[in-house]
């Protein structure tokens, strides 16, 4: 991507909208031509609407139990059937989707914030700072991070905030490396020199000039991080460390469903399908974005 600085005019002023550059228009055009990615984006919008708006439409509450009416298959009153405690599975799936998407987004945001800041600083200052910071990343790569996260959640109880932070903390390392590489190759460009000459400080250069020019890879990697984080949340839910009942996440619903599969297949089927479809869509979209934003990969 070192060609970027020559193709694209540097994003030097805030008022200049990013979308206006030819690179972005180019990418947008390529993305639109990728049918799979477009369909995926549509699916994602639909799933998000389904989960966010759905609970207001369905006439059941996600924690409303009807113990005498446990684990029935789909019916007119309950389209997805009911779960083991007689709660409407449709609304629980929607609710679970909210939580799963929220965890995916929030944890990714955490990893994005840490990773971009860390990588950009490391790449920008270079030299000894860079060497030390990247050594730290190398070391962290070799830590059994997931184990520490599990330990943390087991020992100190489960809260959503802790979950976001823990999952975000696990996944920022790659982001840091990517951003560092980008910044390293961009910082010698003319537009950085120009900014420096006009008296912009280090922080300004890093966050106003360098980071916006790395957006392509950042977006791609972010899109691919979300499904990973959602799966990690599911894994923690299976271990009983995710969200706590009566709350639900797709991970929790799916792990409950997998256990009760023999008798009540619908408990696995519906949340499982939604989870799979969403993960598929995110991955396809991520791949599409990579193809669109990474000129090298053009065939």
How far apart are CB 79 and other proteins at their closest, in Å?
17
C-beta closer to other proteins: residue 43 or 48: 43
- Indicate the Cα dihedral angle 156, 136, 179, 182, nearest 10°: -170
3: contact with other proteins by CB under 8 A: no
CB under 8 Å to 230, separation ≥6 — which residues?
100, 101, 103, 104, 250, 251, 275, 278, 279, 282
User: Interaction with other proteins in 250-289: which residues (CB under 8 A)?
Assistant: 251, 254-255, 257-265, 268-269, 272-273, 275-277, 279-280, 283-284, 287-288
Distance CA 25, CA 30 (A): 9
Tell me the per-residue interface mask from 199 to 238 with other proteins, x by CB under 8 A, - otherwise.
----------------------------x---x--xx--x
- Residue positions counted in the chain: 299
Long-range contacts of 23-29 (CB under 8 A, 24+ apart): 23/216, 27/216, 27/292, 27/293, 28/292
How far apart are CB 129 and other proteins at their closest, in Å?
18
C-beta closer to other proteins: residue 10 or 217: 217
How far apart are CB 196 and other proteins at their closest, in Å?
31
C-beta closer to other proteins: residue 150 or 162: 150
User: Interaction with other proteins in 77-96: which residues (CB under 8 A)?
Assistant: 84-85
Distance CA 34, CA 29 (A): 9
């Amino acid at each position: 991507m070192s060609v970027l600085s020559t193709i694209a005019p540097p994003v030097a002023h805030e008022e200049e909208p990013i979308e206006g550059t030819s690179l972005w228009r180019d990418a947008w055009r390529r993305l639109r031509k990728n049918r799979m990615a477009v369909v995926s984006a549509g699916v994602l919008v639909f799933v998000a609407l389904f989960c966010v708006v759905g609970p207001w439409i369905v006439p059941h509450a996600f924690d409303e139990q009807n113990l005498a009416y446990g684990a029935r298959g789909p019916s007119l009153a309950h389209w997805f059937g009911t779960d083991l405690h007689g709660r409407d599975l449709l609304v629980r799936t929607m609710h679970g989707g909210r939580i799963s998407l929220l965890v995916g987004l929030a944890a990714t945001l955490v990893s994005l914030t840490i990773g971009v800041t860390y990588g950009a600083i490391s790449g920008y200052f270079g030299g000894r700072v860079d060497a030390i910071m990247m050594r730290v990343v190398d070391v962290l790569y070799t830590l059994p991070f997931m184990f520490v996260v599990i330990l943390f959640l087991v020992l100190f109880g489960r809260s959503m905030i802790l979950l976001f932070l823990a999952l975000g903390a696990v996944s920022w390392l790659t982001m840091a490396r990517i951003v560092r590489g980008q910044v390293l190759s961009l910082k010698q460009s003319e537009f950085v020199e120009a900014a420096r000459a006009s008296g912009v400080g280090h922080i300004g250069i890093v966050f106003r000039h360098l980071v916006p020019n790395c957006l392509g890879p950042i977006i791609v990697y972010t899109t691919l991080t979300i499904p990973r984080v959602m799966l990690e949340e599911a894994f923690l839910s299976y271990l009983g460390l995710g969200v706590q009942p009566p709350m639900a996440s797709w991970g929790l619903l799916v792990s409950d469903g997998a256990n009760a599969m023999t008798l009540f297949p619908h408990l696995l089927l519906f949340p499982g399908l939604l989870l799979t479809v969403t993960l598929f869509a995110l991955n396809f979209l991520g791949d599409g974005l990579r193809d669109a934003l990474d000129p090298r990969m053009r065939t």
